[in-house]
Amino acid sequence: MGEKRKITLSGLVKDAKTGEFLADANIYLKSQRSKAVFANIQGQFTLEVETELEMDRLVITSAGYMPYRNEVELTKDFRITVNLSKRKADRIQQDHELVKMALAGDQRAFGKLMARYRDSIFFMIQKMVNNRDDADDLTMEAFGKAFSRLEKYRADYAFSTWLYRIAINNAIDFIRKKRINTFSIDEPVGGDGEDGPARDIPHTGLDPEEKAIKNQRILMAREVIERLNPKYRRLIELRYLQELSYEEIANTTKLPLGTVKAQLFRAKELLQNIAGKTKNRY
């Protein structure tokens, strides 16, 4: 290890078969998971890090694709093009099979489910609590709760959706107990108004100040969810909860592939704009 230096990693993420850009691919260094960035609609990304390491593992993931993990040298700025290959089997069906194996006592199945979703759960929770150590603890708690009640999971909807809801509820309970004022709705996870964070905030005996804070959060979350166009809300659910690829979303919605990519990019912008304007009013 030497002195800390600033390194810029930039690049392009594409589909290995079609050459199409993979917008919203997640890019981070293994040693700095909390500093992850996303590729834009042209598949381009820029990751700026400050590190003492000379080598680290670069990780790039995208829903519906096999992850890229490779050692990279961090002695100077560099640019990279990464081609991701689609998963060989349907991810949702794979999840269902892993759940069956886990319920039958296969410990490896638990490990595979955790490996699939640990990073995405961690990033989602960190967005809510704004603390990496707390996010690590809450991530493990979420998996513990999910695995302890795995027999309650029903295969008529995605395992990831069920898991994310457990993680969200666990994080919200933590926020309420610790009175953390950093609750964020920048990226709502619920696919519609019924599944948003506001619905899961427990209504227990709070003092007047706590009630006021809680009510503000409820109003903020509801306004963001309700003001988003239903077509965008549906796309976000398919992409980030069910983790479908762009092609799978296009097949499900009967929309052209280019339209799906453009509308998802627009949906994220709208969420950020609406959330920002909402928070400024409270």
pLDDT tens digits for 3-53?
889 999 999 999 998 898 988 788 999 898 878 888 888 899 999 999 999
Q: What's the average model confidence in pLDDT over 257-261?
A: 80
Q: Based on the fold, state whether residues 114 and 220 are members of the same structural domain.
A: yes
Q: Whole-structure pTM over 0.75, yes or no?
A: no
The pLDDT assigned to 199 comes to: 44
Neighbours of 20 (CB within 10 A): 15
The pLDDT assigned to 23 comes to: 80
Q: Is residue 33 within 8 Å of residue 55, measured between CB atoms?
A: no
Q: Based on the fold, state whether residues 236 and 101 are members of the same structural domain.
A: yes
Q: What's the average model confidence in pLDDT over 255-278?
A: 71
> Which of 84, 107, 134 marks a domain boundary?
84
pLDDT tens digits for 111-156?
889 988 888 888 888 878 888 888 888 999 999 999 999 999 987 7
CATH code assigned at 276: 1.10.1740.10
Q: Based on the fold, state whether residues 70 and 158 are members of the same structural domain.
A: no
Q: Is residue 142 within 8 Å of residue 162, measured between CB atoms?
A: no
pLDDT tens digits for 64-105?
678 899 999 998 999 999 999 876 656 778 888 999 999 998
Q: Is residue 35 within 8 Å of residue 29, measured between CB atoms?
A: yes
For residue 194, pLDDT over 60 is answered with no
- At 150, is the secondary structure helix, strand, or coil? helix
Helix, strand, coil share (%) of the chain residues, nearest 5: 50, 20, 30
Q: Based on the fold, state whether residues 231 and 98 are members of the same structural domain.
A: yes
Parent domain of 190:
91-280
Q: Based on the fold, state whether residues 178 and 242 are members of the same structural domain.
A: yes
Q: Is residue 14 within 8 Å of residue 22, measured between CB atoms?
A: yes
Q: What angle do CA 1, 123, 164 make, to 5 degrees?
A: 150
The pLDDT assigned to 191 comes to: 41
